Chains A and B, each alone.
Chain A
Amino acid sequence: MNGFLYGITLQWKMDIRSKSLLVTCYIVPLIFFLLMGGIFTSVMPEMRSTLIQSMIVMNVSMGAFIGLPPSLTETYGSDVKKIYKANGVPLYSGFLTMFLSAFVHLMISCVIILLLAPILFEAALPAQLPFFFLALAIYIIVSLSIGSVLGLAVKNQAKLTMTAQLVFLPSIMLSGIMFPVDLLPGFLEATGRIFPASRGYRLMLDHGFCLENLWYLILVFCAAAIICTILLNREKSR
């Protein structure tokens, strides 16, 4: 096994040992799902058709914006990067292994929601599962890429927590997962559409891919990838 593959399995293990990642990727989103799933489906039974997608948006947003960035800051905002650089471990490896490990953790927690929701709350399963999983994978990748920008750009943990909330809260409140976006004032609805959560939510609800949402997500991913590359190169040259 080469360094990169070993790095991925090692990161996966470290993420399990890290209580903060367990909390943000599994415990809080699943508790939220159990509580809100019960409330939503009893108050508004029609939400059974969108429960899985809305709870997944909450789960992914929390894991990507609150869970991943502190791990990146721990490496790139501290002396960890110096020891990597000094002893032959490429700087990009830490970033990629964290990204991939977080992707797998989020996929697992989303599958747990997908399996439990129909049993506990009689939620409707997505009509076309392959399309759904493809949309889910795209949405997780885009969310993680935004989380990566946060983790690489903000070096101070306190500032990071605040900045992450500025992305997380509008993603949850304005994406339509808590209440229909039609009920929002026009400017908030428009603001909500800036955040990938609303696009990802709609992408997972579509029976086929709506190109408008897909292109938007691809655009956001490309922008985030470019920013991450610039930030990593800046770290490398320091």
Chain B
Amino acid sequence: MVLKGLDLQIKKGEIFALLGVNGAGKTTTLECIEGLRKYDSGTITVNGKMGIQLQSSSLPAHIRPMEAVKLFAKWNKTKIDDAMLDGLGIKEMEKTQYIQLSTGQKRRLHLALALIGDPDIVFLDEPTAGLDVEGRLSLHEQIRKLRHIGKTIILASHDMAEVETLCDRIAILNNGNIVFCGTASELTDRIGRKYVIHIRTQQGNNTFETDNIEDTLISLLGELKQKKIHVLDIKVDRGTLEEHFIEMAGREA
């Protein structure tokens, strides 16, 4: 994968997502920042200690989770954070060998290993890939907790819903280029999508498109009130991040 002219600045304490389809360059970008991959030119500055959860990682088949935690802690010369291990449920799987762990348990263990050295910056590459809904929500909760205690989180994902619910800012990668960097709402503005208002009344369903949501809503509701039409439901939609992403990728292709 060739990365071209990447220019990124990630702020302390934010959850930043690298978004892109498979092969867009997310993992390559992360590995360059992490120091796991050599790059031809450019400068990368990392201000803080890193903890890394890789997209594809494994441990020896017969190691137990707490043994792996102790091994990594000893090499990093750090104390084990029991609260962190409790939060990730590592101690519950103490007796199980790595080969017998479920995908979700392995993901949680790899996250724990990434957090062993009490890093300032946590890299998570597709952290919820292969997880069921429960596992995914549980991991999202852990990631929010990390932000709450001041960690900077850099996340690579192709799961739009995950990025939309978790991240403060996103960068969209396409063929090794950054095609967008900003918040989800900035992306929506940039795409220039109109607000879509769905109104359900006793007389039926109506849909309106507008650029100015506030004025349109006030005027619509006023009109309906004047006509004494009872409103049953209102939904305002500006498209999901997924739709915006597809649109953006389509534009850049």
- Residues on A lying within 8 angstroms of B by beta carbon are 1-3, 6-7, 10, 13-14, 17-18, 74-75, 78-80, 82-83, 85-90, 93
The interface residues of chain A lying within 8 Å CB-to-CB of B76 are 87-88
Known contacts A86-B52, A93-B75; A6 and B70 CB within 8 A of each other: yes
| Contact across chains for A6 and B71 when beta carbons are under 8 A apart | yes
| Contact across chains for B61 and A7 when beta carbons are under 8 A apart | no
B52-80 interface (Cβ within 8 A of A): 52, 54, 56-63, 67, 70-72, 74-76
B110 on interface, CB distance cutoff 8 Å? yes
Cβ-closest 7 pairs across A and B = A3-B75, A3-B74, A86-B52, A17-B62, A83-B57, A79-B58, A14-B62
State A10–B67 Cα separation when bound (angstroms).
7
B127 on interface, CB distance cutoff 8 Å? no
| Contact across chains for A83 and B67 when beta carbons are under 8 A apart | no
| Contact across chains for B72 and A78 when beta carbons are under 8 A apart | no
The interface residues of chain A lying within 8 Å CB-to-CB of B75 are 3, 87-90, 93
From B51, B57, B60, residue with most partner A Cβ within 10 Å: B60
| Contact across chains for A18 and B36 when beta carbons are under 8 A apart | no
Known contacts A3-B74, A82-B36; A87 and B58 CB within 8 A of each other: no
The interface residues of chain A lying within 8 Å CB-to-CB of B110 are 83
State A74–B58 Cα separation when bound (angstroms).
10
- Residues on B lying within 8 angstroms of A by beta carbon are 34, 36, 51-52, 54, 56-63, 67, 70-72, 74-76, 97, 110, 113-114, 116-117
Known contacts A18-B62, A86-B34, A90-B75; A79 and B67 CB within 8 A of each other: no
Known contacts A18-B62, A88-B75, A93-B75; A82 and B70 CB within 8 A of each other: no
| Contact across chains for A82 and B57 when beta carbons are under 8 A apart | yes
Known contacts A82-B36, A83-B113, A87-B117; A7 and B71 CB within 8 A of each other: yes
List 19 interface pairs A-B (beta carbons < 8 Å), by A numbering: A1-B74, A6-B74, A10-B63, A10-B71, A14-B60, A17-B97, A18-B62, A79-B57, A82-B36, A82-B54, A82-B56, A82-B57, A83-B110, A85-B36, A86-B36, A87-B75, A87-B76, A88-B117, A93-B75
State A90–B75 Cα separation when bound (angstroms).
8
Chain B: which residue is nearest A80 at the CB level? B58
State A18–B62 Cα separation when bound (angstroms).
7
Chain B: which residue is nearest A93 at the CB level? B75
State A237–B116 Cα separation when bound (angstroms).
24
The interface residues of chain A lying within 8 Å CB-to-CB of B34 are 86
The interface residues of chain A lying within 8 Å CB-to-CB of B72 are 87-89
| Contact across chains for B52 and A87 when beta carbons are under 8 A apart | yes
The interface residues of chain A lying within 8 Å CB-to-CB of B59 are 80, 83
| Contact across chains for A3 and B71 when beta carbons are under 8 A apart | yes
- Looking at the complex, which one of B52, B61, B71 makes contact with A18 (CB distance below 8 Å)? B61
A83 to chain B, nearest CB (A): 4
State A88–B70 Cα separation when bound (angstroms).
13
State A18–B58 Cα separation when bound (angstroms).
17
Given contact pairs A83-B58, A86-B57, A88-B72, a sample of 13 additional A-B residue pairs in the complex whose CB atoms are under 8 Å apart: A10-B63, A14-B63, A17-B62, A78-B58, A80-B57, A83-B54, A85-B36, A86-B34, A86-B52, A87-B75, A87-B117, A89-B71, A93-B75
B91 to chain A, nearest CB (A): 18
State A83–B57 Cα separation when bound (angstroms).
6
State A90–B71 Cα separation when bound (angstroms).
11
Chain B: which residue is nearest A83 at the CB level? B57
State A3–B74 Cα separation when bound (angstroms).
5
| Contact across chains for A80 and B60 when beta carbons are under 8 A apart | yes
A24 to chain B, nearest CB (A): 15
| Contact across chains for A87 and B36 when beta carbons are under 8 A apart | no
| Contact across chains for A87 and B74 when beta carbons are under 8 A apart | no
Known contacts A86-B34, A87-B114; A74 and B60 CB within 8 A of each other: yes
The interface residues of chain B lying within 8 Å CB-to-CB of A93 are 75
B237 to chain A, nearest CB (A): 41
Known contacts A1-B74, A93-B75; A87 and B113 CB within 8 A of each other: yes
The interface residues of chain B lying within 8 Å CB-to-CB of A18 are 61-62
The interface residues of chain B lying within 8 Å CB-to-CB of A13 are 67
Chain A: which residue is nearest B113 at the CB level? A87
From A7, A13, A83, A85, residue with most partner B Cβ within 10 Å: A83
State A3–B77 Cα separation when bound (angstroms).
8
A51 to chain B, nearest CB (A): 34
State A86–B71 Cα separation when bound (angstroms).
14
B69 to chain A, nearest CB (A): 11
Chain A: which residue is nearest B51 at the CB level? A87
